[in-house]
Amino acid sequence: MFDLDEFTITRLYNNIWEKSRLKLAPKLSDKGMSIQEIAELLEIDVEVIRKYLRENF
């Protein structure tokens, strides 16, 4: 059985974690934050944020 530390290094965990952070991007954009600011805050690459916003909103 996994313990929490082992789970946090799995690809599944990292995928879920990134998607949950990406869901904040539209709200932050609506508040006037730039893509660069959003990327820095969420610790996600600028191009990932840009692509997500373009494809989903």
CATH number at residue 45: 1.10.10
Reference 42, options 55, 56, 29; nearest CA is 29
Pairwise pLDDT comparison (1 vs 27), residue with the higher score:
27
> pTM, whole model, 2 decimals?
0.78
pLDDT of residue 28: 97
Q: Write out the residue range of the structural domain in which residue 46 sits.
A: 4-56
Write out pLDDT tens, residues 3-56: 777 877 888 888 999 999 999 999 999 999 999 999 999 999 999 999 999 999
Residue 1: pLDDT over 70: no
- Distance between CA atoms of residues 44 and 26, nearest Å: 14
Q: Domain count of the chain?
A: 1
